[in-house]
Each structure stands twice: as structure tokens, then as C-alpha cells.
Structure 1
Amino acid sequence: MLQPPSNERASGMAAPGGVTMPPPLPGPRIELDDARAGRIAFYGEDAAAAGGVPPLLLVHSINAAGSAYEMKPLFDHYRGTRAVYALDLPGFGLSDRSERTYTPRLMTDAIHAAVREIQSRAGDGAIDIVALSLGCEFAARAATETPNAFRSVALISPTGFDRRAARAAEKNPSLEGTRAMPWLHRLLNIPLWRHGLFAALTARASIRFFLEKTWGAKNIDEALLDYDTITTHQPGAENAPYYFVAGYLFSTGILKLYQSLSMPVWVAHGVRGDFVDFEETRVVKRLPNWSIEAFQTGAMPHFEIPDEFIARFEAFLNRAKAA
């Protein structure tokens, strides 16, 4: 069951040695104890001057250093003008990082739990959701399962539209199928190197390297690098990422799932870096509720050019409102 709204905090998570991990975003932290998703944390508060604008939920990507901090430019922009919330998915940030099987079902259930809590505060109306990278697959799944809960879906650099995903769908088109490789997960978890391997992957220099691949440039966001370094050095930080690396969180039927979305959908993606294969967006371009825009950026345009990104996002929301 959900903990009551009064269980809101602003403190961080205590790590061994008395070091406290700060919350990824300002404002109250809301903790939910969901029967399916476990303990999850998300951040934000209702805006007194929202003026009937639906709440906005932000969902980060999945990688070794994922957290709600990845949505900070959007959270900072909308905070105080509309109800905006950002979620730490299970296994990341200040949510439960325990050793368990991390799957699309677990991540989707966490989004459902956050949406129910938001609606308990703001009424039962539909919300807007923005997700990043692999988080897009979970947001889309949630929106297909409870379509009346979502007015619009915005996907930033979504996974599932590349040629590798298309090949996986050919082998297993099931909406419940994943690209899980149990043998790889067992290999990663051999005690001899389990912690040492993750420590090497999340050394500050390694994180910088991966962020430069994401940006497609050297001028990454240094504050994001700082927070990524902190969040990857917390107890249990390797649990969810190892399931990610082993393919457990990628859905083989995601293209079919994307096509079933009934509300307005906006795709925003960059053209630089390692995440620029969106060839399979051709299967949704013909759908009247989909719009796709490219930015002259890497995979995180909301960090690189926030003003332009938000202007185009607002234009999409205006179209969604009209629809």
C-alpha cells in the first residue's frame, strides 16, 4: 500500500561511513511503498498556480548512473508553474536498490504507482509524461495499460527504434518478451569481480567517457557528471545496471507496443553521438498521433539547448490540448 502524503522528506540517503547521497532534485521527496514496485522515491509538489494544467511526470533513462537528475532541466523549468514530478526508478537514486530481478514489468509498475499518487493529489485527470531513452519503453507500456491516465507521451531519444531492436522483434514479437541473457547476468555476478568490475565502469573517468558518447561532444554537463559519480558509489548500485547490461530491461515487442499508443506522442532525438539510429521510426511516422523532431544535439537535447527544447515541447503540448 502507499504511504500517506505526509511521508515527505528532503534529506538524502545515508551510505556506509556516514556519507549522505543528496536527493537528485530540489523539493520534497515522496516515498511510496508499493506492493509490486517496492519502495520508490519521486520528487516534486503541486503548483498553486497550475491553472488547470495537468501534472507532468518525468522518467529518467537506464544506465549505470541513472537517476531523476537526468531530467533536471525540465524539472527546474516547470517547478512552481505546474505540478511537476520526477521519479527514481527501482534500483536507482533514492529508490530501493536491493538485489531482485529488474524487468520492464517492475519499472512499469513503479510508473503506475507514481501516477496513482499524483492523481490522488491532483484529481483523476490525465497527466503528461516525458521519458528518456530506455525509460521511454516503460512509459509507453504504462500508457498502453492505462491510456486514460495519460494526456500525452513525450519520448526523448527513445530506445526500440534501432535495427537491433527490429531484429529482436523478429525473433520474439511478444509484448512480454525481453532480450535477457541469463548467462551474462551470472557472469557479471561472479563474486570474484562483481564489485570491482562495477567500480571500474563507474570511475569518474569512465562516466565522463560514456557521457561524451551520449553528448557526441566533449562539453558534457559537469554537474550531471558529479551526481552520476555520487549515485554510482552507493550500496546496491550495481544491482539494476547488471540486469540492464544483461538485456533484461529491453522489450522485444516494443515496436508493436509503441504503435498501440492512442494519445498524442512526441519523439525528440539528437543527431550526434552513439544514439542516433532511429530508422524504425518509419513504422510510426505515418500514424496521425505521432510527431518526430530531430535536434542538432546529442541524446540529451533538454540539457544542451533547454530553451529550444522546451519551446518545441510546449508546441507539442498545445497540439495535444487541441486534440
Structure 2
Amino acid sequence: MAHRPHSVLPLLARQAAKVLSLAAFGGAGAWLAYSRFAVDHRVPLPRALPDPLDELDSAAGVVALYGNATGDGPPLLLVHSVNAAASAYEVRPLYLHFRGERPVYALDLPGFGASERRRRRYTPGLMVEAIHTATAEIRRRHGGVALDALALSLSAEYLARAALERPEDFRSLALISPTGFDARLSGRSPPGGHRGKDGLFAALDRPPWGRALFDALVSRPSMRFFLEKTFGSRDIDEGLLDYGYASAHQPGAEHAPFSFIAGHLFPTDATALYEALTLPVRVIHGTRGDFVDYRDLPRFARRPNWTVARLPTGAFPHFEDLPAVTRFLAA
């Protein structure tokens, strides 16, 4: 299969531009009315995971942390990806596998799931602060021990920065389908930069059109389309679709995704972050779908602290072949 860049972001941007264009040519009033009066923006949102959820105050706002402290060994923190409908449900198979075997926790990043979703510009720095808050709380509960942490997709870059800023917090990192190894999203720019376009963000996250636009992006057909891109197959996880739809139909659900579409959540220093890691790093990714460009990964695989594997799956291999993923993580 030919390598393709991480294409969900430009696809989302193109769909957003298409909806804005349609609005400009006369359909705006009808769609705005439909969004306001026909779309439910308070769909019941159950807990993503079957354990207590704590709300933690952080520099990034209030963030939600699921946790189960039973089991032996160092605690494990799981961090979901970033997309239009992200939440801790994305790590559910891993959470349920480790639950009771070892202490396991899962974070809802700012703007997603059960975390605070206020209107603001979301950046990598906010995501890193949320990880720091969760890590500090987990260490407090477990006598200060360093923990293992796992992140999906774009959040791998946030986790890498968190580990570099506070190396005493982490024993090891695991990255599933991480971004930053392709030609488009790699980089060695100065720390703290992002790829955000302020003009695009301002055009997207603007009442009253912003919510109506977001409703078009997170309709069930649209979400199924993007999940099929992620899985590289029509055989998606239906529970993930259902929870993602509910999560995307909450008050304020559009704000963080608009920062994602406008580029503000994409760091410009991914390569430098990964190169600076000295703790053990395990990477696993699939070979199907729109997330298959890992052209820069082989040189990291030659590093003594990196272990890399791939599976014949899409970008969420833990939903398709959980035994293979957990065997790799435990090896």
C-alpha cells in the first residue's frame, strides 16, 4: 500500500469549507434553523469507562480522569487521540484489559469527553498541562511511583513533551499510531510552536454558525466516513461510533475540534520531541487506512530505547487485535 499523509485533517477542513460555501449561497438560514431546533446538543453521555470519574483542576481547566487502583505493579495512564469526537472511549479495550491486573487510568483531554469544553483556542500546551495534572494525581495516589503511559495518534506528541518536561513522572511510553513520522507533520521547530491558522479558527468557531457547521461534520454518516478512514475498513467499532456521536453532541463540543481543524493542536517540533526521549518507548501501528505514512520511523526503530511493531489493522489496532497489542506492550 502506498504511503499517504495523515489525511483526515485536510478532509475535515475541506468539508468545513464546503459547508461554509453552501451557507454563503443561500442554505445558511435553513441549516442554522435545523441545527438550532432539530439537532439534540445534549445527547445523554454515559461514562466511557466502568469506574469512578474524578474532576481535577488544572492549568488547562477541569479535566476528567477515570481510574481503577486495584492490581499490582506501576500505574498505567491511557490518553485518547484528538479528532472531532474524541474521548476516553477510544482506549476502552486497553482499559478493560488492564483493569484489575494493574492500576489503570484514562484521561479525557481538555475540550473532550467529560472534561471542560469552554470556548477558547486549544493548543498542545493545554493538552500537556492536562497530562501533567493527571500524572501528578496518579503518583499521589500510588506513593509517588513513576508510571507507564500510553497515547494514541496526535496525543503521542503531547505525551512525549510531558515526559521531557517531567521525566521523573514516567517509567516508559507506549505510542499507538503516533503522528509526527510523516513528511507533513514532522519537524524540529522551536519548542511550543503549533500549525494553527488564526483566521481559519475565527471563521469556524463563530456563533451562531460554528455549532451549525460542527453539526454537519459530526452527523452519523460523516462520522462513519471518518471512522472508516481510520480503520481502513467498513468494519468499524459500532460502540465507538455511538459514543463518539454522543460526545460530539454536548454543549461546547465544537470548540476543541475547531482548534484541531485550524491546526492549533498540531505541534511543529514532533521530530525533536521524539529524538530527545531517552526512556523506553514502544510504538505499534497499523498498515491499513489513511494513517500509514511512517517514513521517518525506521531510524527511530534502530535506537536502543525504541521498539517498533506493526499490525495488519487500521489506526486503532487495539479495537481489532487487542491480544497482539497487549502482548507487544507486555514484551
Correspondent of 2:111 among 91, 96, 105: 91
Q: 2:129 aligned with 1:109, yes or no?
A: yes
SS of 2:296's partner is helix
Equivalent residue letter for 1:259: E
Distance change >3 Å, CA 310–CA 179, structure 1 → 2: same
User: Aligned-pair distance for 1:222?
Assistant: 0.5
Unaligned runs of 5+ in 1: 1-15, 316-323
Query: Aligned residue for 1:57?
Result: 77
Q: Percent identity?
A: 52
Query: Aligned residue for 1:199?
Result: 215
Equivalent residue letter for 2:159: A
Correspondent of 2:247 among 223, 227, 231: 231
For the residues of structure 1 that align with 2:222 and 2:126, how far apart are their CA atoms? 28
User: Aligned-pair distance for 1:33?
Assistant: 1.2
Q: 2:258 aligned with 1:242, yes or no?
A: yes
Query: Aligned residue for 1:41?
Result: 64
Unaligned runs of 5+ in 2: 1-39
Q: Is the CA contact (8 Å cut-off) linking 1:60 and 1:131 kept in structure 2?
A: yes
Deviations 1:12-50 (A, max 9, x none): xxxx8975311111111111012x121000101211x31
> How do 1:1-323 residues align onto structure 2 when only pairs under 5 Å count?
20-34=44-58, 36-47=59-70, 49-50=71-72, 53-166=73-186, 169=187, 173-191=189-207, 193-315=209-331
Deviations 1:240-264 (A, max 9, x none): 0000111111111110011111110
Q: How many residues align?
A: 292
Equivalent residue letter for 1:200: A
User: Aligned-pair distance for 1:123?
Assistant: 1.3
For the residues of structure 1 that align with 2:264 and 2:270, how far apart are their CA atoms? 13
SS of 1:252's partner is coil
For the residues of structure 1 that align with 2:41 and 2:227, how far apart are their CA atoms? 28
Q: Is the CA contact (8 Å cut-off) linking 2:311 and 2:317 kept in structure 1?
A: yes
For the residues of structure 1 that align with 2:206 and 2:52, how far apart are their CA atoms? 38
Q: Is the CA contact (8 Å cut-off) linking 2:317 and 2:325 kept in structure 1?
A: yes
What RMSD over aligned residues (CA atoms) do the two structures have, in Å? 1.4
User: Aligned-pair distance for 1:176?
Assistant: 1.3
Q: Is the CA contact (8 Å cut-off) linking 2:53 and 2:64 kept in structure 1?
A: yes
Please list every run of at least 4 consecutive aligned residues from structure 1 whose deviation after the TM superposition is greater than 3 angstroms: 16-20
Q: Is the CA contact (8 Å cut-off) linking 2:45 and 2:243 kept in structure 1?
A: no
Q: Is the CA contact (8 Å cut-off) linking 1:147 and 1:262 kept in structure 2?
A: no
User: Aligned-pair distance for 1:188?
Assistant: 1.0
User: Aligned-pair distance for 1:81?
Assistant: 1.2
For the residues of structure 1 that align with 2:102 and 2:282, how far apart are their CA atoms? 20
Q: Is the CA contact (8 Å cut-off) linking 2:42 and 2:251 kept in structure 1?
A: no
For the residues of structure 1 that align with 2:306 and 2:107, how far apart are their CA atoms? 25
Q: Is the CA contact (8 Å cut-off) linking 1:104 and 1:250 kept in structure 2?
A: yes
For the residues of structure 2 that align with 1:99 and 1:270, how far apart are their CA atoms? 34
SS of 2:111's partner is coil
For the residues of structure 2 that align with 1:312 and 1:200, how far apart are their CA atoms? 39
SS of 1:27's partner is coil
Deviations 1:158-216 (A, max 9, x none): 011111023xx26xx11211111111111212435311111011001111110000000
Q: Which structure's relative contact order is higher, taking Cα pairs within 8 Å and 6+ residues apart?
A: 2
Q: Is the CA contact (8 Å cut-off) linking 1:108 and 1:138 kept in structure 2?
A: yes
Once the two structures are overlaid, the 10-residue window that deviates more, 174-183 or 187-196, is: 187-196
User: Aligned-pair distance for 1:284?
Assistant: 1.7
